[in-house]
A and B are shown apart, each in its own frame.
Chain A
Amino acid sequence: MSDLLNSSQRTSLFVTLRDFEKSLRRVESLMDSTEANGILFRPRLSISAEKRAQAHQKISAALDQIHEMSHLFALDTEDQDAARLIPSEMSVYWANLLDSRSGKLKRYGKVHPQLAENLDAYTLSLSNIALSLATLFKENPL
């Protein structure tokens, strides 16, 4: 059935199914790992065990179907290097953290005169770390 699609159509189908597969696996992981505590967050899944089991079943059925379609339409597995994805994410945090300095918070109202001395050194330091991490992964010597 692979000859039913031209190259662009195959790519389009591939991207849609790959992203759907990623979402399904993320949902699975969210349902299974609700115990991880962070500094600023604590996940707690509010659905019942029965609904959780149903969701697992549906995810499994969807993954089986994706598997079947990948064979039918000759969709190959794509190799991804996480080290290439991390720099772009960290660059976004670099910008967002710089935008969290006191001067930028005036978008949300009048800024307290003492905020800069209490906040800016931290946000600047964290944004520099985000940039360092981006650079570390870009310079990765393997």
Chain B
Amino acid sequence: MDDLLFNPYQKASLATVLHMFEEDLRQTDTCLDGRQADGILYRRQLHLSPAWRAVVRQLISSTLDEIATLAGKLGLEQEVEDPAGMIIA
């Protein structure tokens, strides 16, 4: 599949959704490590059994594989993002 199947706007829309989904999956995967986030005004923990964590981790891993396959098929490239932009926003 190549760019002929998309116009640039359609490609950008799809890339944005997949990019955000990937970031969220990776963030969820990090949560599964079981590290507690201790703040001053909040304390975040994931209450999930080890067996359940393994199921979720497996699902996340296969989903990331699926995103990689789709990205390859569609010719979606890795985007260099500057966290400074997000910080300012």
Contacts and interface: CB of A to CB of B under 8 A. Distances in A.
Interface of A: 14, 17-18, 21-22, 25, 27, 30-31, 34, 36-47, 63, 66-67, 70, 75, 77-83, 86, 89-90, 93, 96-97, 99-100, 105, 107-112, 114-115, 118-119, 122-123, 125-126, 129-130, 132-133, 136-137, 140-142
A114 B73 CA distance: 14
Contacts of B13: 100, 105, 107-108
Contact of B63 (A67, A82, A118, A126): A126
Given A115-B5, A132-B59, A38 B40 contact: no
A80 B42 contact: yes
Nearest to A67: B40
A48 B30 CA distance: 27
A126 B44 contact: no
A41 B81 contact: yes
B41 A66 contact: yes
Nearest to A63: B40
Contacts of B87: 27, 30
Given A78-B41, A93-B24, A133-B59, A44 B31 contact: no
For chain B, give the interface size range.
35 or more
A45 B82 contact: yes
Interface string B30-41: 010000010111
Interface of B: 1, 4-7, 9-10, 13-15, 17-24, 26, 28, 31, 37, 39-49, 52, 55-56, 59-60, 62-64, 66-71, 73-74, 76-84, 86-87
A132 B22 CA distance: 15
B23 A41 contact: yes
B56 A133 contact: yes
Nearest to A71: B40
A97 B20 CA distance: 11
Contact of B41 (A17, A41, A42, A129): A17
A66 to B, nearest CB: 5
A40 B11 CA distance: 13
B31 A78 contact: no
Contacts of B44: 80-82
